[in-house]
Amino acid sequence: MTNKSFSWSFDPSLIELSRISIPIPGLPAEFDGYRLTQLSDFHLGTWLDSQALLEIIELVNSLDSDLIAITGDFVSSRVEQHAPKLIRALSGLIARDGVVAVLGNHDHYTDAEKIKEALQESEVVELDNKVRIIQRGEACLYIAGIDDQMTGHDNLNKVIDNLPENNAPKILLAHAPDFAEISSKYGIFNLQISGHTHGGQIRIPSLGPLYLPRLGRKYPSGRYKVGNMILYTNRGLGTSWFKVRYNCPPEIAVFTLHTS
């Protein structure tokens, strides 16, 4: 899609579709070519409105995803006002293995329980310190989710207790990318996907982002290697209260898993 450097208002043509190949040692042949699409940071009602979100859903559904993962910050405020619009949009997502999600700090700042209710009504599986198992015959892919670290709702020990001690592929959803400093030390996750930073929203050439939030300053955008784990920080689709992006377009990430 086209890529404009500056915008005060949301235009679906701004979205950058990032396609990322992820090598995973020992990935079962049944999951070779598995396609995971990541959305993040809608902040519905700030920069991104409900009509634009519906257009995004239409685009996502054209990507032929095996699984869709959403990494938090569905709204910034007024959950009661935005929940019906969120349900309408998310209910339309289509992927072979469904849709999973974790919450972000703004979801907890507003009303996490109402966000969870909206996700449940949309048939989105919320992974608050939980694990979902995707199966292809006898082969398994483990999708784990950590609840928001910034607001103290994360419980990695609970997640790890529900993961097998083997070399089966394991992917972690975590809203804040700097959580990789913790998750990578366990040596069990192949990939962590995150959001939270919006890529900085305003990126000055040769200087980088003007501002990054706490727990999003080490790994602000794109692909990193943290220990033996791959981390990807998605720039997200919305904005904070400062409704502008410069040299930092909104993003949808599509990961294809491959045996390395």
- What tens digit of pLDDT does each residue of 133-150 get? 999 999 999 999 999 999
- What amino acid occupies position 60? V
The topology (CATH level 3) of 20-259 is Purple Acid Phosphatase; chain A, domain 2 (3.60.21)
**pLDDT, average across residues 148-160:** 97
- What tens digit of pLDDT does each residue of 202-247 get? 999 989 998 999 999 999 999 999 999 999 999 999 998 888 999 9
Q: Please report which confidence band the pLDDT of residue 6 belongs to, taking 50, 70 and 90 as the band edges.
A: low
Q: What is the pLDDT of residue 4?
A: 58
Could you tell me if 39 and 195 are in contact, meaning their C-beta atoms sit under 8 angstroms apart?
Answer: no
Which pTM value belongs to this model? 0.95
Q: How many CB atoms lie within 10 A of CB 83?
A: 21
> In the chain, what are the domain boundaries?
20-259
Q: What is the pLDDT of residue 2?
A: 43
Which residues on neighbouring strands pair with residue 170, listed in sequence order? 142
Which residues are within 8 A (CB) of 233 and not within 5 positions of it... i.e. 6 or more apart? 177, 194, 195, 196, 197, 199, 216, 219, 220, 221, 222, 224
How far the first Cα of the chain sits from its last, in Å, is 30
Q: How many CB atoms lie within 10 A of CB 40?
A: 32
- What amino acid occupies position 229? M
